[in-house]
Amino acid sequence: MRRFHVTGNCVREKHYMVDTSEKIDTIITDYIQRGYYFTINQARQYGKTTTLYLLEERLRERYVILHLSFEAADEYFKSLPNLVEGLIMDISDALREQDVSSEMIDEWNQPVSDRFPMRELGRKISNLCRQCPKEIILMIDEVDKSSDNQIFLSFLSILREKYQKQLVGRDVTFQSVILAGVYDIKNLKLKLHPEDEGKNNSPWNIAADFLVDMSFSANEIASMLDMYEEDWHTGMDVRAISQMLYEYTSGYPYLVSRLCQLIDERVAGGWVCPDKKAAWSKQGVLEAVRTILKEPNTLFDDMLKHLYEYPKLSMMLKNILFQGRRYTFETDAPVIQLGVMFGFLKEQEQAVCVANRIFETKLYNFFLSEEESSLKELPEPEYGRNQLVAHGMLQMELVMRKFYEYFESVFAQADERFLEEDGRRVFLMFLRPIINGVGNYYIEAQTRDKTRTDVIVDYKGKQFVIEMKLWRGRQYNYDGKAQLAGYLEQYRLDRGYLLTFNFNKNKQTGIIESICDGKRILEVVV
């Protein structure tokens, strides 16, 4: 029986897989058949390795495929002779697996001198490509594992030289070269010398821009769930579940597959969902989201490591999340390039935003955990947080009222700057422990700006919408209520919550009940 898979290459016969045949077709027709050299640079666990294997599967009949990996090849990069010898061995193994004569393989295996090893490797490549009855494609996975070594750049220089000579008929070389890694090899110095952010010169400037979107669409996710449903007949609404998975992940391959794996193997049979039929539901997806946010995994570990490595990126994320700061999406900006390469950032309406809801919540949790100790040791509320849950359900109205009491007792004299920059942060730090372990929360990206943020709380399948906003006058307050009412209509909810931070000296704080466009709104003004 097939299962969901998140470690290593996916195999069609063993694993549930998204149908990416259209993407594979595009890569073949638009890049490989045109003789392009290019890099598939995507964030960790974005399906790069699986994509290379699917390409190889499709191309083997027409081409000779040299599929290499630098994942465990550190010894190759100790010297030029080491690299050349390692490449000769790996390519020899690949040739033996395909329709290549023993004579060609024997000639390829002839040793090279230590004096000009890279130049002789170039000649070997030309001879091999001339003699081979099929055109040859070179694929190298995990290419940036050793890309901080000048020796690797020398190899790229040879490939570039041969590519350029082939264009004018002065050489014969690979039909196409595909490099797969996180870092864009064209901008390799972002990794080599991150302090020299503006100096992005590399020997891979011949590479074509790779414009194929490797994220999964909702329809592509549905193709995997259709496969699962054929085996298990759960009765799930495949389209609805696929759309929900997409909304939380924005199609990030690892997150999609891991959520499906959690639903299938951990949520099903648990206390929330007793069987697979119950698990493949809205509540089951929310439970899987809650689980993935709490579990340790290499993707999140990698994310947090990069935040420490690149303080400018970390600061940009904080400003976006907590202050609603808008950054224009400028592809030439090194910090934005890094955020996109690592999978943190994407473009939305020409602005920089966090790539998906799960990353966003993970980042909120991380930054808030850091802030909890730095924001003057926030005092704990005097009541138990379990008082805010009755009969197993979150009492959001009581949460809002208790937050008012808490804020008034602790921060009543806070200045304007605190309210504007830290007020919403305090609320999230107040809310997070209440729902932690049972519910999820995320910030609605479409409404986040310096003056307004919508928080969506999912608690055991029930949703709550809280709008946090700064006071900008009565008309703005009314407009905010109308916006909240419209948002409640989208979620098919009758009640919403408005948290207003007013930094006027003569402000009137309190709790106000009102009705706007038929929706009941509880407003807390602090």
In whole angstroms, give the CA distance from residue 116 to residue 122. Answer: 10
> For residues 483 and 509, is the Cβ–Cβ distance under 8 A?
no
> For residues 87 and 117, is the Cβ–Cβ distance under 8 A?
no
Among all chains, which residue has been given the structure tokens 């008309």? Answer: 475
Match domain 21-192 to its CATH number in 3.30.70.20, 3.40.50.300, 3.30.300.30, 3.20.20.80.
Answer: 3.40.50.300
User: In Å, how far from its chain's centre is CA 269?
Assistant: 29
- Tens of pLDDT, residue by residue over 71-106, are 888 888 888 899 999 999 999 999 999 979 999 999
What pTM value is reported for the model? 0.87
Q: How confident is the model at residue 375 (pLDDT cuts 50, 70, 90)?
A: low
Burial 447-464 (b: 16+ CB within 10 A, else e): bbeeebbbbbbbbbeebb
Q: How confident is the model at residue 374 (pLDDT cuts 50, 70, 90)?
A: low
Helix (H/G/I), strand (E/B), else coil: 67: strand
> For residues 327 and 336, is the Cβ–Cβ distance under 8 A?
yes
In whole angstroms, give the CA distance from residue 83 to residue 91. Answer: 12
Question: For the chain, how long is the longest CA-to-CA vector?
Answer: 91
The CA distances from residue 6 to 17, 29, 254, 281, 396, in Å, are 11, 28, 6, 21, 36
> For residues 10 and 50, is the Cβ–Cβ distance under 8 A?
yes
Alpha-carbon dihedral angle through residues 289, 294, 298, 300, given to the nearest 10 degrees: 80
Q: Which range among 80-94, 173-187, 241-255 shows the weakest confidence by mean pLDDT?
A: 173-187
Among all chains, which residue has been given the structure tokens 């986040």? Answer: 448
Q: How confident is the model at residue 411 (pLDDT cuts 50, 70, 90)?
A: confident
Helix (H/G/I), strand (E/B), else coil: 492: coil
- Average model confidence (pLDDT) for the chain? 88
**R_g of the chain computed on alpha carbons:** 27
In whole angstroms, give the CA distance from residue 241 to residue 471. Answer: 38
Beta bridge partners, 473, equal none
Q: How confident is the model at residue 381 (pLDDT cuts 50, 70, 90)?
A: low
Helix (H/G/I), strand (E/B), else coil: 298: helix
Query: How many Cα atoms sit within 13 Å of 87 on the Cβ side?
Result: 23
φ/ψ of 387, rounded to 5, equals -70, -20
> For residues 135 and 175, is the Cβ–Cβ distance under 8 A?
yes
Q: Which range among 201-210, 216-225, 483-492 shows the weakest confidence by mean pLDDT?
A: 201-210
In whole angstroms, give the CA distance from residue 83 to residue 80. Answer: 5
What's residue 439's pLDDT? 84
Q: Residue 230: what residue type?
A: E
What's residue 198's pLDDT? 42
Count of other CB atoms within 10 angstroms of residue 307? 19
Helix (H/G/I), strand (E/B), else coil: 199: coil
In whole angstroms, give the CA distance from residue 496 to residue 516. Answer: 10
Count of other CB atoms within 10 angstroms of residue 3? 13
Q: How confident is the model at residue 148 (pLDDT cuts 50, 70, 90)?
A: low
Cβ neighbours of residue 410 closer than 8 Å, sequence gap 6 or more: 378, 379
The CA distances from residue 160 to 154, 163, 173, 204, 364, in Å, are 10, 5, 10, 7, 43
In whole angstroms, give the CA distance from residue 110 to residue 120. Answer: 11
Among all chains, which residue has been given the structure tokens 């595009």? Answer: 26
φ/ψ of 349, rounded to 5, equals 55, 45
**Average pLDDT for residues 445-457, to the nearest whole number?**
71
In whole angstroms, give the CA distance from residue 238 to residue 260. Answer: 12
Tokens of residue 469, six digits: 């906003």
Residue ranges covered by each domain of the chain: 21-192, 218-295, 379-526
Q: How confident is the model at residue 331 (pLDDT cuts 50, 70, 90)?
A: confident
Helices (H), 145-281: 150-167, 189-192, 218-232, 238-249, 253-262, 276-279
What's residue 153's pLDDT? 84
> For residues 441 and 361, is the Cβ–Cβ distance under 8 A?
yes
The CA distances from residue 110 to 81, 85, 96, 121, 285, in Å, are 14, 10, 15, 10, 57
Count of other CB atoms within 10 angstroms of residue 291? 17
In whole angstroms, give the CA distance from residue 170 to residue 248. Answer: 52
In whole angstroms, give the CA distance from residue 526 to residue 412. Answer: 8
> For residues 319 and 367, is the Cβ–Cβ distance under 8 A?
no
Between 413 and 111, the higher pLDDT residue: 111
Between 294 and 423, the higher pLDDT residue: 294
| Closest by CA position to 250, among listed 344, 350, 337, 334 | 344
